Amino acid sequence: MTIHREGYKSIAIGALAFAFINLCSFYFISAHEFWLSGLIFLVTLAVLLFLVSFFRVPARRLSTGKDLVICPADGKVVVIEEIIDEEYFRDKRLQISIFMSPANVHQNRNPIGGEVVYSMYHKGKYLVAWHPKSSTENERHSVVIRNGHNEILVKQIAGAMARRIVNYLSIGQKVEQSAEMGFIKFGSRVDVLLPIGTTVDVQLNQVVQGGVTVLATLK
């Protein structure tokens, strides 16, 4: 396991805050209320460990396949439905949405390999990530990857806690399947828009792993 580069600054600030709080606690509190000083230490240590855990990047054997759509994020499948995409395709698409809790790995990966033909950041609201309107009203970053005649749209969507979406792709870039696409800080959601008729290989409420779980099979 490694720590994602997006977490270096946050973890450094967290470590400094941990040290400062506990030094003050030890100096001003421990002599009179040792139990309280110990409680402060345990609580702040738990927060720091959670922060480190949030930015973890576990070692994995990544999945690939020419006709496969690989899950772009860790989390739970919360939506499988047909929708009308108003942003790029402007027609009917199959949407699969993955909810990412704060405990999940938050690195995002490319569901297919190919060329990036669309990349757009949208300012927006911070509705809870499982809200139906979060796909179109929340802060989000959309990218479209083209491989042959297939185009897949992936939306990184901010949730109620998330305030920063990072996307590393640019138009014209050639990307590899399951390679890193970006990162979302704290609770969030990722939508994948697929062609109608795509075979879905996951079920509602299924727990999935980014870069590992096969989300769907293209025809």
What are the phi and psi torsion angles at 38 (to 5°)? -65, -40
Dist. CA 179–CA 129, nearest whole Å: 24
* H or E, element range at 83: strand 75-84
| 100 strand-pairing partners | 188
Q: Which residues contact 213 (CB under 8 A, 6 or more apart)?
A: 63, 70, 71, 202
Catalytic residue among 37, 97, 178, 188, which? 188
Dist. CA 38–CA 36, nearest whole Å: 5
Dist. CA 123–CA 146, nearest whole Å: 25
Owner of token pair 């795509």? 198
Q: Are 107 and 81 in contact (CB under 8 A)?
A: no
> Which residue type is seen at 197?
G
What one-character DSSP code corresponds to residue 156? E
Indicate if 101 belongs to the active site: no
Alpha-carbon torsion (82, 142, 138, 123), positive or negative:
negative
Q: Which residues are catalytic?
A: 188
